[in-house]
Homo-oligomer: A and B are copies of this chain.
Amino acid sequence: MKLSDGVEWATHCCTILGSLPTGVAMPGHRLAEFHEVPPDYLGKQLQSLRKAGIVESTPGRRGGFRLGRPAADISLLDIVTAIEGHEPAFRCTEIRQRGPSAVGRKHYVRPCGIARAMWRAEEKWRAELERVSIADLVAELDATVATEQTEKAIDWLTEVLT
């Protein structure tokens, strides 16, 4: 079981976008440059975010991406779901309905206990991801990142986004 690398990239991008002044957009290739990741592939993840309404995009010369709603209203779960899709990690194939002891389908109305347990665990996972928002991550960054790095980031951003 492995989360796509795109989840990490997308989250970092949202953190950056959440740090920008309201209304300022950042081009996709700049986001890629900032993280040193393949620009085109990152573009793919950004499109997933856009379809989910997490970011908005404006085309044209001074276009780019910005958050689609306040950072406090975007959870980690939103991002993970946008990139990975809605399907649960555990997919019950109902193998209990096969084999020599199978009986009529009407006896299998409830999901089997194994699937229920798995899904319950995933629900806990999702609930925890829902608790943390982009705003939280931005605040955590502001509190912990070295001032040297903050200055370098601001310098680079102001130079690039003008």
Residues on A lying within 8 angstroms of B by beta carbon are 1-5, 7-9, 11-12, 15, 33-37, 76, 84, 87, 89-93, 95-96, 98-103, 107, 110, 113-114, 117-118, 120-122, 124-129, 132, 137, 140-141, 144, 146, 148-150, 152-153, 156
Inter-subunit contact A114/B156 (CB<8 Å) = no
Q: From B36, B90, B132, give the contact of A99 (CB < 8 A).
A: B36
Q: Please give the distance in Å from A6's CB to the nearest CB on chain B.
A: 11
The 8 closest A-B pairs by CB, nearest first: A101-B153, A121-B128, A125-B125, A36-B98, A113-B140, A124-B124, A100-B156, A101-B152
Q: From B12, B87, B103, give the contact of A114 (CB < 8 A).
A: B12
Inter-subunit contact B146/A103 (CB<8 Å) = yes
CB-CB under 8 A for A12 and B103, given A84-B1, A144-B113? no
Q: From B2, B87, B95, B118, give the contact of A12 (CB < 8 A).
A: B95
Chain B residues lying within 8 Å of A98, measured Cβ to Cβ, are 35-36
Distance between Cα atoms of A112 and B107 in the complex (Å): 49
Inter-subunit contact B129/A121 (CB<8 Å) = yes
Distance between Cα atoms of A90 and B4 in the complex (Å): 8
Q: From B5, B92, B107, give the contact of A93 (CB < 8 A).
A: B5
